[in-house]
Each structure stands twice: as C-alpha cells, then as structure tokens.
Amino acid sequence: MGYELDFSVVWEHLPELLWGCLGTLGLALSGMTLAMIIGVLGVFARGSNMAWLRRLVIAFIEVIRNTPFLVQIFFLYFALPSMGLKLNPTVTAIIALGLNGGAYAIEIIRGGVQSIHKGQVEAGLALGLHKTQVFRLIVLKPAIRAIYPSLTGQFIMLTLTSSICTSVAAYELTSVAQRIESDTFRSFEVYFTVTLMYLAISWMLMTAFAAISRQYFSYPTR
C-alpha cells in the first residue's frame, strides 16, 4: 500500500512549528552570546602569566572538543542534580551550547589575536593606551575581522546543534516536530517541513552575519 502525502497536518500545526523556530533561535542566540563571552575571557586566560589558569583553559578546550555534545548536555542535566545543582531544560541547553561554542571560539579568536603583529600592540602602548584599550581597539577588532567567517560558521553550526537539546526536553523546533509526529504519524511531511525551516534559519543567520560584516568589519573603500 502506497504512502499518500498529506501536508494539511503541517498546515494545521504551522503556528506551533513557527514558535519552535523562535525557540531554536532563542537558544542559539543565547548560546552564541555565552560562547563569545567564554571565547574572549578564555583568550585572556590563555595569555595569563598564571600557569594553572592556562592549564585550566586548555583542559576545558580539550574536554569539550573531544566529547560529544549529547554527553555534555546529559552531564549538565542528569549528573549535576546528584551534586545538588538542578537546572531546567532551557537553562541547561543554553549553558551546554555556550560551553560547546565557547571552547571552539577560544581557539578561533586566539588564532586571530596571534595574527596581529606585535608592533601594532607596542605602538598602541607607546601612544599611552591602557592594555585593555590596546586589546579592544588594536587587537580584538582586527582579529575578529580576520576570523569572522570561521566564527560565524561555527555559530551557524551551533544553531543546528541546538536540535540535540530536544533530548533534555528543551523547547525548540525538533522537540515540537517530534511531538507533532507522534500525534499524527506523518513523519515525512513533518520532518520535510522542519528540514526546510532549518535551512531558512541558517539562511537568515548567514544573511544577518553578512550584513554585520559589511557594517562593522569591512575595509573602507575610496
């Protein structure tokens, strides 16, 4: 017996799927923000004179980059409560995404920082700028300009990774799709539509990141 397509199911549940898209964007943007904070602080820490702090950051990077995201989010959601720390699904998802993205952001940003010639830093200090001003104005912005494509690509990947957060019942697009599919048994229609929605989300983010790049990181033209 052939399978008959029926996209009316998707149409009926379209508002729920759109809310799921907003949930995915909320998790992704929150995770990106936390990842950027961890990335910048991690670069500072890796350049610290304190050996124990450098080792701690390196250990964090290695643990995150060499373990599956699913295991990381399970650890936060299921293992931490045994130590007295219980997080709700949304907070767990944001922290997991932030930690995962932050580990990669540290290495990406560090590569950009190292690409800045030491002479530029010395010139900034010679002009009387504080070390923080030198880092923010002379090092960080040119470094981000250099690594912007890699960083935004990582953030788009982080957005798609948010679908795994359904494993701890976080509210996002995949969790909504699973519930609709279990109620209607229209697997092809639901997941075909969700695939298109993830493509749309990725395209929207790429467009937004490109606009930000043109506005803030493009080189001046004559």
Q: In the prediction, which pLDDT does 47 show? A: 82
**Within a domain: residue 50?**
yes
User: DSSP 3-state helix, strand, coil percentages of the chain (rounded to 5)?
Assistant: 85, 0, 15
The whole-angstrom separation of Cα 93 and Cα 95 is 6
**Within a domain: residue 2?**
no
How many domains in the chain?
1
**Within a domain: residue 56?**
yes
**Within a domain: residue 1?**
no
**CATH code where residue 209 lies:** 1.10.3720.10
Give the structural domain span for 36: 9-217
**Within a domain: residue 192?**
yes
Q: In the prediction, which pLDDT does 220 show? A: 60
Q: In the prediction, which pLDDT does 213 show? A: 85
Give the residue among 24, 62, 7 at the shortest CA–CA distance from 164. Answer: 24
Q: What is the pLDDT along the chain (222 residues), one digit of tens a residue?
A: 577 888 888 999 999 999 999 999 999 999 999 999 999 899 889 888 899 999 999 999 999 999 999 999 999 999 998 888 888 999 999 999 999 999 999 999 888 878 777 787 788 778 887 777 777 777 777 888 888 889 899 999 999 999 999 999 899 999 999 999 999 888 999 999 999 999 999 999 999 999 988 887 776 665
The whole-angstrom separation of Cα 84 and Cα 171 is 24
Q: In the prediction, which pLDDT does 65 show? A: 94
Percent share of the chain, pLDDT over 70: 97
**Within a domain: residue 3?**
no
**Within a domain: residue 204?**
yes
Q: Give, in degrees to the nearest 5, the angle at Cα 159 between 64 and 83.
A: 45
**Within a domain: residue 159?**
yes
